[in-house]
Each structure stands twice: as C-alpha cells, then as structure tokens.
C-alpha cells in the first residue's frame, strides 16, 4: 500500500488548500525557502502558488501573527508558521487579544479564519526553549481551537479542516512525528475539529492522549494486552474544544482513565480531562490519574530527557500498578 | 456656464465641503462631551478615552479614503469611528451598553468594531491597530485598497510598531500609519520615554514620513491624500505624524496634573474647531451663521441621541456560541 | 480599629521592602507619576526612594520584563508593574523562556528574584481586553509562582513574601479589591507563598477560590448558614505552587467541593483543583464541581457582565441544588 | 632600560598578546569542528549553531571587557562563551550531555549559562540576549560594569531589539549591543527582510553606532574598547555592527543552498584566523613557527578534551527542585 509520511501530509494539505481556495495564503520564517522551512514541511509551495501567496517574513512573530489576523478579518485565510511552539509567547497577544476576541466582539458579524502551525514537543534533545508544548498556555482561551494530530493521515485531515474552519486554529505538529510513515490507501477521510477518536478499543482502562502520546499509548496497550489488560486508547485530536462526550463514554465503559501528557501535570490539559471525569462522570470513576512530566524545564542530556518524558514503559508500569492497586 | 460661475460653483462646493468637515468634527466634540457627562451620570461605564482636541486628524484622514479602504482605530477611537461614518446613535448606544449598540453592547468604548463602515476594529492593546492595518493591507492589495492605522506617540516604543513597519516596508504594503502625537502617553511626556525623533523611525526604514499640524483638518486631508495616493500607487507604506493635543484627561480617572503651565490654554487657541471656523468664515467665505447653524443642529442631534439611547433596551444575557 | 485598604496595603508593602533592601527596585509604565500609576497604588514611592530605584518606563512590556530578568540575574530584586493582566502576553516570552528557566538551567547556581505585579479581573466594565485573569496562561509553567491575594492584609503579606522570594512571582491584584477596606490592628503577620488559608470553617461543603472570589464565597457561606448548610471557604492564596494538602484535607472533612473561578472553566485552574481531588482524594469525593464563566470573551454591558460572572447568588443557588441533588 | 629596549619589550608584549588572541580564535574554530564531528558521530545531540568564521567578533569584544562586566550570548554561543574564558572542557561536556558539563548537561548547546565566567546566559530566543544585557546594565550601573549583548542581523527585526534599545537610551544604560551581521538569518539574506541600514536603527535613537570589519580581531577590539569606554563613562548605550560570515550551515540541518556563488570562497579569503596569522607574522613580527605551534597545541588540547568528555559520566535522572 502507498505510504504517507507526516511531513508530506502537512505539505499536501497546504498544497491542496492553496490550490482549492484563492484566499488561502501561507507565510512565516523561511517557509518559502528551498528547504521549505526548518522542518522541511513546505518545500515547493512558493513555486507552485506564487510569492504573493507563499512568502518568507522577517523574524517578527508579533508582526506575522498580527498581520495574519488583519488579513483574515479582511477576506484572506492565512496559514502562518511559528517555527517552534516555544516562540508562541511572542505571538500570543495578537492571537488571544485580537483573533480570539473578534467573533464575539463583532457581535458575530466577523470571524478570523486563521491557522497557526507550530512545531512542538520534546524528545529531540532541543533543550528547554525548543521543546515545550504550548497547550496549557492556550487551553484557557475561548475563541481559539487547538488541534494536535497523532499521525500523518490525521495531520492531513485535521490541517485541511483547520484551514476550512472560520475560527483561529492553533495547529500543533509534534517534532517526533515528522519522520513517521503510515500506510494510506487513497484519500484520507475528512475529520471534524472537536471530535475525539477511539484509536484502540478496550475494556479495562482508558488511555487518553494526543500527538506522539497516542502512539506511545497504542504500544503500551499492546504490551498490556500480553498480560491480559485490555486498554482503550482515546486520541483527543483537538484540545479545545474538548470532546467530553467521548471521554465520558469511554470512562463509562472502562471506569479507569489515565491521561498521558507531555508537559507538567500542574495546570496541564490532563487536569481538565480528570476534572471532566470527576464533575460529570464521578459515578463511573474507579480510578483516574495522570502521567506527565516533572515540574521543571525540559533537560537536554539524553538520559535526563528520556527519564523526563512519559514513555511506553512508564505507561505500562503505571497501568499495571494502578490496576493492581485498584483491584484490592 | 461662464468661467466665473464655474469658480463660483467650485467655491460653493469648497465651502459646502468645508462645512461638512466642520460638522463632522463638531459631532465628535459634542459626542465626547456627551460621553463625559453620561459617564458622570453613571450611564457610561468602566473607562473612556476621549478624542476631544484631536478631531481634525481622523476627519481629515477619513475624508481622503475610499470605499475600498479599511481603518484600525484605538481605545481612543470614538473619533476614528465617527469620522468614518459609523452611526453615532449606534456608537452612543454601545457606550451605554445597550442592545442597539454597534456591537450589541458587547464591546464598549475601547473595542468598537463596525465592518460595514470600514472600521475593522478599535484596539485596546497599544500597537494592536498597527498590526491589524498591516495585515489588512495584505488583503487589500488585491483590490486596490489602502489600510490605515491610528496610534499615539507612546505606541512607537512598542514592539508591534517596529516589527510591523519593517514587515510592511519589506513587503511594500499599501498601508498608512498615522501617529497622533498628542505629547503624552498617559501621564508621561513623549520625550521622556522616546529616543530620538518619532518621524526618524519610519524614515530609517525608508518609509516616507511627514510631520504636520494635526489641528488643521485641511492640512491633514492634503497630507493624507498624498500618502494614500502613493500607497495605492504601489509605493509601499506611508507615515504621517500629526501634532495635536487632547483637551481632556487621558482617561476619565486622570486630572492631568502633568500638563505644563499654559500648555492647555495655548493648544485651545489652536482648537481644530476654532481653526476650521476661522478658515470657513475667512478664506472659504462661509457666514458665521452657517457655522452656528451646524453647532445648533449637532447639539440638537445629540440631545435626540441621548434620549433615544437612554430609552434603548439592554441586551439579554444568554448562551452565546464560542465559535463562528 | 485602624483600617487598611488594598491600595495602601500594596503601597506599604512596596515602601517597606524598598526601605529594607537596597536591591529592590520598582519600575513600570507611569508607576512613578504623581498619581502612582493608573491604579494609584504607588504614589510617592519615587520621592521616597529616588529615581534610580523607582522609575517610569516606555510602553514596552517586553523590554520591561526582559530588563527585570536581566537585572534580577545580576543582583537586583526588581518589582515591575504590567498595568493590566491582559497585557502579560507581550511580556510572557521573557517570563517563561528566561525567568522561569534560569534556576534549572543554571544548575541551581542562579535564581531570578523578580515580582510582576498586574491588575486583573472583571466586574469593572473594562471590557474584553482589560478584564481577563491570566492564571490559566501561567498555571502550566514550572519555575513561576502565582500569588492571588483576597484582602488588604493578605495582599500586604503576600507581596512582601513575593519580594523576598528568590523566584519569579506573578502577583495578581484584582481590580475590584483595590477599594476594599479591612480592620487591621498592628502589623500583618507574615504569610508564606504556597500555603492556602481556611477563611471560614465548615462541614458540609468546601468552597475554593482566590482574590475577589474568596469574599463572594464568604458571603455565600453566610447565606447558606441561614438554611443550615455549613460551608468551608478555602482561600488558595497561591495558584502555583498549589496547596494540594489543604485541598485534600478540607475535602476529607466535607466530601463536597466547589471551585469558584473568575474565568472560563475549560483549561482553568479550577480544573486542576478537581483533578487533584479525583487523583488523590477520590474516596473522599461525594461531589465536586466548578462555577466559572461562560466560554466567550468578557462583555462590556453591565447586565451582560453581571450575568457572566459567578456571583454570590449563583454560588448559593449552585450549592443548594448540588447538595439537594447529592442527598438523594 | 633604553627606549629601544622598551619598545622591544612592548613589541614582544604586543606579539604575545596577538598570539593569545589567535590562540583563543583557533580554540573556538577547532572546538566547533570537533562539535560538528561529534554531532555526526551521534555524541552531540539535537541541533547546534556553530560560530566558525565569526571568531574575531567574540574574541575581540571579550578582550576589551573587565571583571565587572557581563555578557549575554546567543544559541550560536560557543564562541561567546569560550572567548570569555568559560572552561572548554566544561563546555564540551555540556554539548555531550555529561554531568561534568558547565550546566550539568541540563542546558545543551543553545542555553549555556556560566555566571562564574561573566556569561549570564546564551539565549535560544531571538532577541533574548538583548533584553538580558539591557537588564543587566540596570544592575551593573551601580558597580561601574558594562553589559554586552550579542545578536545577529536577523534579530534587528524583532520587537526585543526596538523596545530594549529605546529603553536603554532613555535610561542611558551602560550596555554595548554587538550585532554580528553574517549576511543571513537562517536561509534568508538580511536585505530581503530588513528595511534600511541596520546601523541607522540605533543612530535614530541617538545611540552611537559603528560598522566594522568583524573578521579582524584587532579592529573589533579597538571598536569594543572605545564603545565600552564610552558606556562605562556614562555616555549610555553603544552599538557595533560587525560584518562577518559563517563558514558552516545555520544549524546542522542546513546545506547552505542559499549562498551566492563564490561568496563562501571570498569570505574564506578573509578567514579571521588567516587575517590574524598574516598580521602576526607580518606587522607583529611573530614567526610562522609560533603560530603553527599554537595550532598544534590547540589540536592536542581538543583531542585530550574529547577523550575526557567521552569518558565523563552522564547525569543521573532524579527529583529536581522546582524553585530556588
Ligand atoms: C500593551 C499596552 N500597554 C499599556 C496600555 C495602557 N495604556 C493605554 S493608553 C496608554 C498610553 C498610550 O499613549 P499614546 O500611544 O501616546 O496614545 P494616546 O493615549 O496619547 O492617544 C497606555 C500606556 C495598553 N492599553 N496596552
Ligand atoms: C523568536 C525566535 N524566532 C525564530 C527563531 C528561530 N531562529 C533561530 S536562529 C534564527 C536566525 C537568526 O538570524 P540572525 O539574527 O541573523 O543570527 P544568526 O543565526 O545569523 O547568527 C532563527 C529565525 C528563534 N530562535 N527565536
Ligand atoms: Mg499620546
Ligand atoms: Mg545572521
């Protein structure tokens, strides 16, 4: 079967939407370069769609994001790249105080069809300032959608959905996924924003994650199956809005839920999942917990970073012990 | 028709046009006076930043714009909005928090949006208007439009200013940056916090910049027409520094203790309404009566507006969709 | 008894720390003006401590915060004012990528004694861009402390603790509290960061909040007492680190917990409180829930803003119905 | 002692001093070569931004600094660190992720901190170094110190640059801004994204700015001494634009496809090490042998360092306090 890799999935989604809709434009730092940006996700797009619609910018995150907002309010559908999620702070004022507010303040008369692509996540030895996951910083902001794909086909479908969405969408690309390949036959089916996906059916425990974490959970589920534990894996796909129905449905089935989050537990999105479970599914809960990262910046040294991240072994061990404990 | 008749007609048109500019400025001034008194009465809430004294800037610039152009104003935006033709009743009702407000009472004084009238927004964050207009020009260059950003002297020290002007210049975007230098950012004189001349900043980027008398509406219009023309012609971003002065506090909580002695009085001598009236009854051959008539009509208009506004319903709280 | 108002509490804490420690400096937009800033919290401090230590800055949030970081790393103990919490985005890169990272990256050799004061909160008709609560944006950032005082005496004690702390502290001043007066006799006792406070003892339900919400909860508790419901009120005081022991202790006592948060529930700090309850106190939980704001920007119009905020009546009604429900 | 003997002694001192500068530059060059090969071997991880070609800038500037001064470097900071006297073994071990690294392996290539050696940090965020040094000067002005910020041409389009330079100028802070213009920001030629001349930006603020040959360590040192002297004397912020060129890719993933034909070769002719060697064996009367000896010693030093580094222990994962 033909295979699709994550990078190509991103590039194809952009290429197809640029071709489909005149109003779509793409800009950011070095996105129009031969390499197609630092992560080589956009090569050839300027050649195919012209330098009016695909172009490089100065190193000016605030101007890039503010310009995208202003363009979106006036009829374009910009896709911008903020190279690393760690740089989003420099762009955040425009995203939160302009883009996220516009639909409401305009009395619903206007909207901001804008996509912010950003590479996130640790595991690549990029250190404390090039490995963070920005979900927590945007999770509490009404008016912004946050998409976090877990595979090439998911990435292609969600990016197209994000570009066609009339709201500002933060689209997160996990660096460790860029190299991932997937067998895909034919076109990938459309995926709506805000809908979770059961990546694997299970009965004993639900593992909730996004991006790279989903693959880790699937591997963990495989290992757990070996000792007779049936784990369901829920890929949230979108953090905001969050598919609480899917979370509660799975919880009602398994009564045990663990969130696997690449980021500090305190104030992370996993806390929202547990809060939803406790607030709306308490009678279904036998056990809920979080696997997250320690409460300090992300280390560079390989052994430190590896121990820092919640990997497959950690997930397996945690589920084993909690289910052991829970069954007392 | 004889030449003299033509020039007579032209003169008449010029006078009429001048009276229209005056009416618009007068409307803004009285609107702001009204807001202030309604604030004291507890009918306008939170805070307001009034445009009194700066009317000639927005009215002059707006008179140089076309239907294809878009404007980004500031938290000091009542004048930016009214100069564009935003419905005064809708704007007043917004300040009053009524359902009939131009944003249904959701936005209030600092965040007015009126897309129908080319106002993409008023921005409460310093520098936000600069980003908004810079981005707008990315879209407008497809249709021959020009985007305008208003902002103050103090805003030129903000990262938005630097990043966006450089961005607009390297992309040669059709955007006009209008810096309203009213000598203060809140309570701080602009020279105390601003290194060098403000107009030197765009010049350094190769952006044409002029510094003008911001209290003479005709001077402003001429400068704006030239700048907008160049931007429309593809010559890239343009910059106008309009020297002006606000007659009231920065916001309703400001007594203005920082003003230099005599400063306010000196600027009142250069009140844009005074300047316009003198030109009208002088060079433009209007009668004092014509101008007085406008004053009376505007006063009346505002009285009617206040009555209607205070009678308008408040919005009903209720579920609101998060997303478009 | 002598009274202390919130503004004076802030001013006195700054004045006393400036007098106590040469290294303390204070700067921000208009803080040195006659008015003492937009919120009149710092009048006279420049006169008393000199323009080298107390000064106005340009409107440059990023420079203000970056400069404070650089100064803190080199021996000063800066207190800066970011006028409105809504403006923190423009300062966030330095706070998160510089100040919050330094202690860890320096191998513990250096630290960043920095306090960022900021006025937050709605209810003043300031609209969508001057009323937000920034807790959610910083809650997921290791290395930053977040203090959120609920009264004049708490504000004075917590601000002094923040200035004496060797870590970056985000110190939030709720606009609706500036006018609040409190009877205080003598000096206010020291308060450590990271420790919650039982503002009122109760047995049937725990109300958890910060800042203005604490006062609302106390009023609600008073009203609930009338119909025989005994509500405990927990003032978290500090959101990061969060005093989970205090939360779990109160939960173990009342078995019912409601968070009153001035901000959207989705991704808010209240979710973390519920997550802690579910993760570490599940067996104690009969009921947990959140009172928060709707998922849209903050409206200007008085009736809209009043309905938007979780007020005393809403708290009372919610507790009544949940306890009614829970007792079925 | 006779005058000629004195001059002889001075000449000897000058030569020795020149050899020391050369040694430092050579150390940086070979350090970067070593990092690159260790990267290929999988011993250095993530990404690295090498300083090869720009050595004269950091070495020249550092030679003009005193113990009371502080420096903020960038993600391209190995040279900034080594020029200050950061222990090469500690720096190498940091790149190797070892417990013996200057930050215990926590920081890696982009975020090195060494307070003991006046390096307040290396900053992975564009513009971060500018803010850090600007703030440092607020503290250093109490003790007569000067803060130095290194950054690149592309960084001058970032909000940090604008806000901090204005801030430093209005406060007249003792800070030296060193812009290393290596013609590219990542893959983009600086002219494509930068409006006007870079040195005009500080000049607009009234900050003295010079543009110099960044590949001649003596030229850099002279400019730095003058600028640091003025800053220390209370004349406020200073700016140096050092024209230079990086001989390797922006980061390890960059083949450098964007380079103009012949550009790299032309700059190699102006290799700071080549320039220094010519001056040494020319005007400074050193022998080729003296310089060759340094090359050999540095090569040896690095071989020893690599052995030690590869033998050093990795840090043990374990609980780490969140707060000081
Ligand atoms: C990012 C940001 N910082 C600070 C403020 C608070 N603030 C509102 S108006 C103002 C002064 C702006 O001065 P200027 O740019 O000269 O405009 P003016 O008010 O004089 O028209 C300040 C500091 C803000 N709204 N946004
Ligand atoms: C805020 C931010 N944006 C983008 C980047 C990614 N980035 C790293 S280096 C670089 C180019 C910087 O160019 P320049 O300032 O000329 O320095 P040079 O790398 O040439 O030394 C970019 C865009 C970053 N690290 N931080
Ligand atoms: Mg001003
Ligand atoms: Mg460069």
Residues C41-55: tens digit of each pLDDT = 999 999 999 999 999
Q: Which two tokens stand for residue B134?
A: 């810079």
Q: Provide the residue count of chain C.
A: 328
**pLDDT value at residue A328:** 39
The DSSP letter of residue D116 is G
Closest among B150, B88, B90 to B121, alpha carbons compared: B150
Burial B47-60, CB ≥16 within 10 A → b, else e: bbbbbbbbbbbbbb
CB B300 within 8 A of CB B28: no
pLDDT over 70, % of chain A: 99
**pLDDT value at residue D253:** 76
Residues of D with CB under 8 A from a CB of A: 45-47, 97-98, 101, 104-111, 123-126, 154-155, 157-159, 185-188, 192-194, 251, 253-255, 257-258, 314-317, 319-322
A 278-307 residues with CB < 8 A to C: 278-279, 282, 285, 287-290, 294-297
Distance CA A267, CA D48 (A): 32
First vs last Cα of chain A: how many Å apart?
Answer: 47
Three-state SS letters, C128-197 = CCCCCCCHHHHCCCCCCEEECCCCHHHHHHHHHHHHHCCCEEEEEEEHHHCCCEEECCCCCCCCCCCCCE
Contact A297 C272 (CB under 8 A): no
| D175-181: strand order across its sheet | D119-123, D70-74, D147-152, D175-181, D238-243, D209-213
Residue with CA nearest ligand 2 atom 2: D126
Q: What phi, psi does B34 have (nearest 5°)?
A: -65, -45
Q: Which stretch of DSSP H or E encloses residue D140? A: helix D128-140
Contact D171 C104 (CB under 8 A): no
CB C175 within 8 A of CB C126: yes
pLDDT band at A327 (very low <50, low <70, confident <90, very high): very low
**pLDDT value at residue A168:** 98
Q: What is the mean pLDDT of residues A218-226?
A: 98
**pLDDT value at residue D5:** 59
Question: Does residue C80 register a pLDDT over 70?
Answer: yes
CA of A126 to the centre of ligand 2 (A): 15
Task: List B209's β-bridge partners, or say none.
Answer: B239
Q: Is the dihedral of CA C170, C175, C176, C182 positive or negative?
A: positive
CB A289 within 8 A of CB A261: no
Q: Is the dihedral of CA C37, C42, C47, C50 positive or negative?
A: negative
**pLDDT value at residue A185:** 87
Strand ranges (DSSP E) for B226-292? 238-243
Instruction: Name the residue of chain A whose CA is nearest to C293's CA.
Output: A142
Closest-lying ligand to the alpha carbon of D186?
2
**pLDDT value at residue A1:** 83
Q: How far is CA D19 from the centre of its chain?
A: 18
pLDDT over 90, % of chain C: 95
Question: Does residue B281 register a pLDDT over 90?
Answer: yes
Contact B205 D196 (CB under 8 A): yes
Closest among A263, A272, A271, A326 to A298, alpha carbons compared: A263
pLDDT band at B5 (very low <50, low <70, confident <90, very high): low
C 133-152 residues with CB < 8 A to A: 135-143
pLDDT band at C192 (very low <50, low <70, confident <90, very high): very high
Closest among D90, C287, D320 to A298, alpha carbons compared: D320
Q: Count the alpha carbons within 13 Å of D314 in the hemisphere toward its beta carbon.
A: 16
In tens, the pLDDT along D41-93 reads: 999 999 999 999 999 999 999 999 999 999 999 999 999 999 999 999 999 99
Question: Does residue C325 register a pLDDT over 70?
Answer: no
**pLDDT value at residue A187:** 86
Q: Which two tokens stand for residue B115?
A: 């897309």
Which chain D residues contact residue A296 at CB under 8 A? 320-322
**pLDDT value at residue C327:** 47
Question: Would the CB of C86 count as within 6 Å of ligand 1?
Answer: no
**pLDDT value at residue D254:** 82
SS3 of B98, please? coil
Distance CA D33, CA A105 (A): 56
Distance CA D217, CA D60 (A): 5
Distance CA A316, CA A216 (A): 10
pLDDT band at C328 (very low <50, low <70, confident <90, very high): very low
The DSSP letter of residue B114 is B
pLDDT band at A318 (very low <50, low <70, confident <90, very high): very high
CB A230 within 8 A of CB A196: no
How many helical (H) and strand (E) elements, i.e. helices and strands, does chain D have? 12, 8
Question: Does residue C100 register a pLDDT over 90?
Answer: yes
In tens, the pLDDT along C119-152 reads: 999 999 999 999 999 999 999 999 999 999 999 9
Instruction: Name the residue of chain C whose CA is nearest to A272's CA.
Output: C271
**Residue C280 CB neighbours (<10 A):** 15
ipTM: 0.97
Of A55, A70, A97, the CB nearest to B135: A70
First vs last Cα of chain D: how many Å apart?
Answer: 57
Closest among D302, D319, D321 to D29, alpha carbons compared: D302
Closest among C59, C33, C64 to C46, alpha carbons compared: C33
Distance CA A275, CA A287 (A): 13
Closest-lying ligand to the alpha carbon of D161?
2
**pLDDT value at residue B2:** 53
CB C264 within 8 A of CB C293: yes
**pLDDT value at residue D4:** 59
**pLDDT value at residue A200:** 98
Instruction: Name the residue of chain B whose CA is nearest to D201's CA.
Output: B204
Contact B167 A105 (CB under 8 A): no
Q: Which two tokens stand for residue D107?
A: 């920081």
In tens, the pLDDT along A21-69 reads: 999 999 999 999 888 999 999 999 999 999 999 999 999 999 999 999 9
Q: What is the mean pLDDT of residues D286-300?
A: 97
Q: What is the mean pLDDT of residues D299-311?
A: 98
Contact C294 B154 (CB under 8 A): no
Q: CA distances (Å), D34 to each of A302, C33, D27, D38, D57, in order?
A: 19, 55, 10, 6, 20
Q: What is the mean pLDDT of residues B202-220?
A: 98
Distance CA C141, CA A260 (A): 18
Q: Is the dihedral of CA C62, C63, C64, C70 positive or negative?
A: positive
Question: Would the CB of D76 count as within 6 Å of ligand 2?
Answer: yes
**pLDDT value at residue D9:** 74
The DSSP letter of residue D155 is G
Nearest-atom index, ligand 1, CA of B190? 16
SS3 of B172, please? coil
Residue with tokens 């969050």: A242
In tens, the pLDDT along A71-97 reads: 999 999 999 999 999 999 999 999 999
Burial A35-55, CB ≥16 within 10 A → b, else e: bbbbbebbbebbeebeeebbb
In tens, the pLDDT along A108-159 reads: 999 999 999 999 999 999 999 999 999 999 999 999 999 999 999 999 999 9
Task: List A25's β-bridge partners, or say none.
Answer: A78
| Average pLDDT over chain D, rounded to an integer | 96
SS3 of D228, please? helix
């Amino acid at each position: 079967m033909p295979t699709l890799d994550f990078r190509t999935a991103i590039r194809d989604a952009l290429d197809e939407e640029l071709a489909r809709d005149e109003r779509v434009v793409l800009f950011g730092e070095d996105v129009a370069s031969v390499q197609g940006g630092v992560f080589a996700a956009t090569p050839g797009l300027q050649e195919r769609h012209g330098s009016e619609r695909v172009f490089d910018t100065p190193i000016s995150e605030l101007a890039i994001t503010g310009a995208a907002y202003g363009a979106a309010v006036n009829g374009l559908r910009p896709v911008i790249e903020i190279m690393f999620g760690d740089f989003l702070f420099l762009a955040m004022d425009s995203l939160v105080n302009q883009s996220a507010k516009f639909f409401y303040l305009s009395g619903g008369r206007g909207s901001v069809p804008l996509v912010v692509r950003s590479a996130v996540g640790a595991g690549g030895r990029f250190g404390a300032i090039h490995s963070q996951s920005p979900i927590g910083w945007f999770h509490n902001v009404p008016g912004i959608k946050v998409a976090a794909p877990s595979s090439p086909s998911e990435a292609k479908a969600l990016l197209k959905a994000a570009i066609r969405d009339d709201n500002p969408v933060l689209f997160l690309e996990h660096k460790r996924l860029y190299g991932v390949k997937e067998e895909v036959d034919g076109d990938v089916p459309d995926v709506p924003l805000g809908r979770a996906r059961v990546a694997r059916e299970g009965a004993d425990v639900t593992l909730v994650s996004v991006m790279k974490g989903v693959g880790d959970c699937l591997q963990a589920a495989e290992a757990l199956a070996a000792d007779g534990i049936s784990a369901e894996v829920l890929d949230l796909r979108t953090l905001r809005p969050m598919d609480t129905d899917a979370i509660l449905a799975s919880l009602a089935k398994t009564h045990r839920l663990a969130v696997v989050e690449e980021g500090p537990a305190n104030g992370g999105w996993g806390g929202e999942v547990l809060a939803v479970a406790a607030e709306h599914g308490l009678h279904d809960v036998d056990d809920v917990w979080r696997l997250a990262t320690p409460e300090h910046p992300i280390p560079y040294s390989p052994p430190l970073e590896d121990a820092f991240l919640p990997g497959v072994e950690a997930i397996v061990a945690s589920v084993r012990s909690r289910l052991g404990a829970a069954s007392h | 028709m004889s030449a003299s008749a033509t020039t007579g007609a032209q003169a008449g048109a010029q006078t009429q046009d001048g009276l229209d500019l005056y009416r618009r400025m007068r409307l803004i001034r009285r609107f702001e006076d009204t807001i202030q008194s309604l604030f004291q009465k507890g009918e306008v809430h939170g805070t307001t930043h009034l445009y009194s004294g700066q009317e000639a800037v927005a009215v002059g610039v707006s008179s140089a714009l076309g239907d294809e152009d878009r404007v980004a104003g500031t938290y000091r935006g009542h004048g930016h909005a009214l100069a564009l033709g935003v419905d005064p009743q809708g704007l007043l009702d917004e300040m009053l928090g009524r359902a009939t407000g131009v944003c249904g009472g959701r936005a209030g004084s600092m965040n007015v949006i009126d897309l129908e009238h080319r106002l993409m927004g008023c921005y409460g964050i310093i520098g936000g208007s600069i980003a908004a207009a810079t981005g707008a020009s990315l879209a407008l260059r497809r249709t021959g439009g020009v985007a305008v950003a208003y902002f103050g002297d103090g805003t030129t020290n903000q990262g938005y200013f630097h990043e966006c002007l450089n961005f607009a210049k390297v992309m040669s975007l059709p955007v006009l940056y209008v810096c309203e230098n009213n000598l203060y950012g809140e309570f701080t004189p602009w020279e105390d916090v601003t290194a060098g001349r403000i107009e030197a900043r765009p010049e350094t980027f190769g952006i044409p910049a002029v510094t003008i008398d911001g209290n003479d509406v005709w001077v402003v219009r001429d400068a704006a027409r030239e700048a907008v023309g160049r931007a429309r012609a593809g010559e890239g971003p343009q910059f106008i520094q309009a020297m002006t002065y606000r007659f009231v506090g920065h916001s309703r909580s400001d007594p203005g203790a920082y003003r230099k002695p005599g400063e306010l009085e000196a600027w009142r001598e250069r009140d844009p309404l005074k300047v316009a009236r003198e030109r009208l009854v002088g060079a433009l051959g209007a009668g004092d009566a014509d101008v007085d008539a406008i004053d009376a009509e505007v006063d009346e208009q505002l009285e009617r507006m206040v009555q209607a506004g205070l009678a308008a319903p408040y919005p009903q709280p209720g579920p609101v969709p998060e997303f478009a």
